[in-house]
Amino acid sequence: MIQQANLSIIANFSDALPVGICIIDREMTIIFWNRTLAGWSGRSGEEMIGLNLLDLYPDLNTHAFRTRIHSVLDGGPPAVFSSQLHKTFIPCTQSDGTLRVQQTSVIGYPGGDPDHPCAMIIIEDVTELDREIRSVRRMKDQALLEVQERKRAEEALEKLNVKLNLLSSVTRHDILNKIMVIDGFLGFAEEMATDPTQAEYLAHVRAAAMVIQNILVFNRQYEQLGIEEPTWFAIDSLIEAIDTEERLPIRLACDGISIYCDPMLEKVFYNLYDNALRHAEGATRIEITCQPSSSGLRIVWEDDGTGVPEDEKEEIFKRGFGKNTGMGLFLVREILAITGITITETGEEGKGARFEISVPEGAYRIGNPA
């Protein structure tokens, strides 16, 4: 009687719940089947009560299932059945023909007769969640696959790069050796040359050989670009390291400022200095100032020489421009660009050259030299 009364209370609230609820006795006979479960299974409570769960759903009739349900009936802890390991507990076909994915808990049913233990099976519909999980898993698998492919491609590129560097270094070495041979024999030839036309031709040969040598030297430097991780450099130490030999004094006002750059940064200042020596006719000094601004740090490098003509302000940064190797300022811009630093020429022709180096936020610091 108590059991019947309790069942009717359960019926009242469980019919309003969005979960399937079934109560079985020790013999696995169904004594309660709620409305949700009736809707899912297409079998009404009246139809199901009194039938044996294992006869109706033979998939449950395995030793593992039976043992676990029996331990609940014996007063043991709740048993949970994950949707990932058992798609369904009580198979219920949906209108599209697929099975409802279920997550199930089996708990001791406290409302029954203590001499006749029962278990309550609570089934949640996790079809939608399962679909989402599967879709996320597919996306993750796809992303992982892409990452693996990219990793493989990167490894292949790295190997190729090593080969190319090796080839380039061997070739460079061999050519430089041959240039030394040319240089030596040119020296003999120049000494022996009495004809001015012949001497002029030899001078052309020497100039061409020197250009080849310079290209190879640049090539070696350019290859080093980006190989090592960028790091912090104090500007004053780098400038102090330039050997001016008192040809063109440098005035520096960048105390305690460091910038984050490729380790080839020293070549930047060296090249700018070399550039001034070669091209800034009549210059008496170089001034370097640092000004923090809203967008970062501006380093200004200026001399009081002849300056750069308006139509050459961009050209000077192109590879092959100029009277010497044509590599200096090109390399300067490339080195700085690795950590997002830009360089432009903003001086006025006739008053001197002015290079503005813009360092972005985060790539410079003041008062904390590296």
Q: Which stretch binds another protein (CB under 8 A): 79-87, 170-178, 247-255, 345-353?
A: 79-87
Out of 5, 9, 80, 144, the residue judged to bind another protein by CB under 8 A? 80
What single-letter DSSP state applies at residue 52? B
Q: Give the type of residue at 240.
A: E
Among 8, 44, 84, 142, the residue binding another protein under the rule CB under 8 A is 84
Strands (DSSP E) along 266-363, which ranges? Answer: 286-293, 296-303, 342-345, 354-360
Binding marks (x or -) toward another protein, 21..60, rule CB under 8 A? ----------------------------------------
Task: Among 52, 71, 214, 358, indicate the residue that binds another protein (CB under 8 A).
Answer: 71
Distance CA 293, CA 358 (A): 10
Cβ closest to another protein, residue 75 vs residue 97: 75
Q: Which is nearer to another protein, 19 or 216 (CB)?
A: 19
Calpha distance 357→155 (Å, rounded): 35
Neighbours of 28 (CB within 10 A): 20
Contact status: 123 vs another protein (CB under 8 A): no
Contact residue for another protein among 45, 76, 226, 340 (CB under 8 A):
76
Sequence-distant (≥ 6) Cβ neighbours of residue 347 within 8 angstroms:
302, 307, 308, 353, 354, 355
Q: How far is CA 112 from the centre of its chain?
A: 60
Exposed, middle or buried: residue 291 (CB in 10 Å: 0-12, 13-18, 19+)? exposed
The footprint of another protein on residues 90-119 (CB under 8 A) is 103, 105, 107-108, 110
Least distance from C-beta 129 to another protein, angstroms? 9
Minimum gap (Å) between residue 133 Cβ and another protein: 6
Question: Within 10 Å of residue 57's Cβ, how many Cβ atoms?
Answer: 16
Considering only 8, 44, 82, 295, the residue that binds another protein (CB under 8 A) is 82
d(CA 227, CA 49): 77
Which pair of structure tokens corresponds to residue 239? 């400038």
Shortest CB 122 distance to another protein, Å: 9
* Of residues 136 and 156, the one with the C-beta less far from another protein: 136
User: Nearest approach, Cβ of 128 to another protein (angstroms)?
Assistant: 14
What residues from 266 to 325 belong to the interface with another protein (CB under 8 A)? none
How many residues bind another protein (CB under 8 A)? The answer is 25
> Closest separation between CB of residue 75 and another protein, Å?
5
Give yes or no for residue 85 binding another protein (CB under 8 A).
yes
Integer angstrom CA distances of residue 224 from 30, 262, 324, 352: 79, 10, 21, 32
- What is the DSSP annotation of 230-252? PEEEEHHHHHHTS--TTSS-EEE
The C-alpha atoms of residue 267 and residue 290 are separated, in whole angstroms, by 19
Taking CB under 8 A as the rule, does residue 19 contact another protein? no
Q: In whole angstroms, what separates CA 65 from the centre of its chain?
A: 47
State the residues that interact with another protein by CB under 8 A: 62-64, 67-68, 71, 74-85, 103, 105, 107-108, 110, 133, 137
